[in-house]
Amino acid sequence: MTDLKNKTALVTGASRGIGAATAKALAGAGAHVILVARTSGGLEAVEEEIHEAGGSATIAPLDLTDGDSIARLAAAVRERWPALDILVLNAAMLGSLTPVTQIEAKELSQVMTLNFLAQQALIGALDPALRKSEAGRLIALTSSVGRNPRAYWGAYGASKAAFETLVEAYGEEVRNTSGVRVAIVDPGATATRMRQNAYPGEDQAELKPPEAVGDYIRDMLTGDFETGTRVRVEE
């Protein structure tokens, strides 16, 4: 996939941070981007920026923890576009950073629901549209704590470990039966709201901006990669 013109992309968590930056980068490369997040105000602002830059986007405000909403989203994609060429799974929640022994069951359920269960629902619902593309691509955003456990990050790390296993298994399932390819991207230390919540004393001016990650993902998609690719964005 060397040209994103006439391609359709869907980005979750697109109202701010890495999701918004990725959506704008893909739109700048010619793709029509479906912007998904809970907050319509943030989505509208991103959509306006894309349109002002000459790009094309559609907003889809919805709660990804609601399975019915995901089903309706997939139905809308199927009815409006012939295929889904790009799916960027970016939406996630951090939860509290706390010892494993003190993780609250309710919050753990919320973290796992968005970071893992909703991701499976999205893949399942949008798989037919991805398969209709000549070169469907799925990019999953992860964190280093998914493979390298860190004290107090047990809930978030466990959700990302489960997410990575799910995505990699899906990649193997579609490897020989479709044109879909799957990659995992670890954005590394990036100036986002989630990062600020995790490290409140950190100077975000010293971190790379979300746009660096968005541009990296755009370059992956305008180039090529094999299923199983896993990268970390260092700069």
Cα separation, 187 vs 144, whole angstroms: 9
Q: Name which of 137, 16, 126, 149 is nearest 72 in CA terms.
A: 126
The single residue listed with the structure tokens 């399932």 is 173
CA–CA distance, 102 with 116 (Å, rounded to integer): 21
Which amino acid type is present at position 230? R
Closest by CA to 137, choosing from 184, 100, 79, is 184
216 is catalytic: no
> Mapping DSSP to helix (H, G, I), strand (E, B) and coil, where does residue 233 land?
coil
Which pair of tokens denotes residue 37?
A: 């997040």
Among residues 152, 156, 170, 199, which one is catalytic? 156
Q: Determine contact, residues 58/73, Cβ cutoff 8 Å.
A: no
87: left (phi over 0), alpha (psi -120 to 50) or beta: beta
Location of structure tokens 């296993």: 165
d(CA 53, CA 209): 19
Distance CA(56)–CA(97), nearest Å, equals: 38
Tokens of 228: 């199983």
Instruction: Name the residues annotated as catalytic.
Output: 156
